[in-house]
Chains A and B, each alone.
Chain A
């Protein structure tokens, strides 16, 4: 029944996030029609006449190149931007709270039940991660479903591959929020701190040597998009970070006095 409790505690955030992601996913598909109309203009520009030096120029160039096709447009707009932001925010939201959260209350009632603290936090983490997995994959399924309506196609395999990358890196922010929830009784501070950490990492990734190994490159599945290969090492590293954070959260909780 602990899973049912965890579901009741997180369903509002999960369903809200799912609805928002699906709406943004719809938007991404139909935005491509507007982009498609601009493509002839973009193609008519002679690259030699533009100054593409510097990081901003390189980013514009990369963006123009990527969005020439529907697959590239989806990767650039949806996976590289919208879904990344949403999974970070909702990952942190799903991880925050738990045993100590004031809004969920009744900490002592939970602790009076004949279950170990590890089981309480473990069940909560499993339910939250399952919801995060659904957030990372389900909204993207609108892509293969609705792409034919604009004369395009999108592979379900691509959805699953990108979804796996989103989920693994998103679970780092989920676990960070879960760990921070040991110290804060409200939901908002762990979420805010996790988002600030994500923003700092995102900014650091603009520094070329760091960017090579950036977690957001792993999250948006860039290597899968460009070379059809999953970033296995990055996924393993991020999974290990998430597992370590969750383990630390469980150990802290196990030793805590209430």
Chain B
């Protein structure tokens, strides 16, 4: 994996008239990674993607793709030459057929992959003479993916690629993506609020909430660092103001005190033991729990 990030944003902010869409997004997407960009609806995922692709301009901060400034119109054209994109609505030209939009898109990419085009047309079951207007959402998603994958690019930016799909179609799309990435040397940056999708294919994640990055890092590291410590006391659980670093949230319910830590459990348990719990258990934390705790923290 190369040192230079494929995508880097520093304190990226975007204001639309009266509303702050982004209030400080910091991302570092390593080249060659599959980067899951998580957040609730309206958290700022699509706005971030638009800024990366030059579809909107930041109010302040910096967004670079391949080291090029995304806000510069000329650099943005270069970025898009090296990037495939699938938007969340999978909106394509309704007046074209599948074959027409493939020929249209291929004309802009000198490295267009004819071999992949044939392969995906067949494996996705896309009829070239079918009008786009008549395609189901699943077929439209597959066509959007084909148009992104065949560009012969270094970076795929996918905005909610599986939204609106049934579980079978979702699995098919994710499998196609994983298979493609395993054979091609590229970076995938995809936004989603489907945690299972991210859990299944991502190696790095960032969680964004209310326009701010709240967590970012390698998924395995996050899983290793996040721990839930469950302490059971003989009587009512005491109120403890933990001083250990990385304590994300503490909950008391009767005799049970549960604390979530983003910096392992050792320091937290050491501190808790002074209050004399009858038992202390350390539990692994799922991505879903990390996500829910992170976005709840921001409320």
User: Are A and B a genuine interacting pair, yes or no?
Assistant: yes
Q: Are A109 and B108 in contact (CB under 8 A)?
A: no
Q: Are A114 and B16 in contact (CB under 8 A)?
A: no
For the complex, what is the distance from the CA of A104 to the CA of B50, rounded to whole Å? 20
Q: Which among A4, A8, A105 has the highest number of chain B CB atoms within 10 Å?
A: A105
**With an 8 A cutoff between CB atoms, is A36 at the interface?**
no
Q: Are A258 and B55 in contact (CB under 8 A)?
A: yes
For the complex, what is the distance from the CA of A9 to the CA of B54, rounded to whole Å? 24
Closest Cβ–Cβ distance, residue A99 to chain B (whole Å): 11
Using A108-B55, A113-B80, A258-B56 as known contacts, say yes or no to A1 and B108 having CB atoms under 8 A apart: yes
**With an 8 A cutoff between CB atoms, is A116 at the interface?**
yes
For the complex, what is the distance from the CA of A108 to the CA of B53, rounded to whole Å? 10
What are the interface flags for A1-21 relative to B under an 8 Å C-beta threshold, 1 for contact and 0 otherwise? 100110011000000000000
Instruction: Please classify how large the interface on chain A is, using the bins under 10, 10 to 19, 20 to 34, 35 or more.
Output: 20 to 34
Interface members, chain A 66-114 (any B CB < 8 Å): 104-109, 111-114
Closest Cβ–Cβ distance, residue B94 to chain A (whole Å): 6
- In the complex, the number of residue pairs spanning A and B with C-beta atoms less than 8 Å apart equals 68
Q: Are A8 and B80 in contact (CB under 8 A)?
A: no
Closest Cβ–Cβ distance, residue A123 to chain B (whole Å): 12
Q: Are A106 and B91 in contact (CB under 8 A)?
A: yes
Interface members, chain A 151-174 (any B CB < 8 Å): none
**With an 8 A cutoff between CB atoms, is B275 at the interface?**
no
Q: Are B53 and A112 in contact (CB under 8 A)?
A: yes
**With an 8 A cutoff between CB atoms, is B286 at the interface?**
no
What are the interface flags for B59-100 relative to A under an 8 Å C-beta threshold, 1 for contact and 0 otherwise? 000000000000001100110110101010101111110001
**With an 8 A cutoff between CB atoms, is B104 at the interface?**
yes
Q: Are B93 and A116 in contact (CB under 8 A)?
A: no
Closest Cβ–Cβ distance, residue B111 to chain A (whole Å): 11
Closest Cβ–Cβ distance, residue B53 to chain A (whole Å): 6
Q: Are A111 and B55 in contact (CB under 8 A)?
A: yes
Nearest B residue to A112, CB-CB:
B85
Closest Cβ–Cβ distance, residue A4 to chain B (whole Å): 7
Q: A5 — which chain B residues lie within 8 A by C-beta?
A: 93, 104
For the complex, what is the distance from the CA of A112 to the CA of B108, rounded to whole Å? 11
Q: Are B57 and A257 in contact (CB under 8 A)?
A: yes
For the complex, what is the distance from the CA of A258 to the CA of B96, rounded to whole Å? 23
**With an 8 A cutoff between CB atoms, is B200 at the interface?**
no
Q: Are A9 and B87 in contact (CB under 8 A)?
A: no
- Closest 5 A/B residue pairs (Cβ): A257-B56, A112-B85, A114-B81, A1-B107, A114-B80
Residues of B within 8 A of A (CB): 16, 50, 53-57, 73-74, 77-78, 80-81, 83, 85, 87, 89, 91-96, 100, 103-105, 107-109
Q: List 23 A-B contacts (CB under 8 A).
A: A8-B96, A8-B100, A9-B95, A104-B94, A105-B93, A105-B94, A106-B92, A108-B55, A108-B85, A108-B91, A109-B92, A111-B55, A112-B85, A112-B87, A113-B105, A113-B108, A114-B80, A114-B81, A115-B77, A116-B73, A117-B73, A254-B73, A258-B55
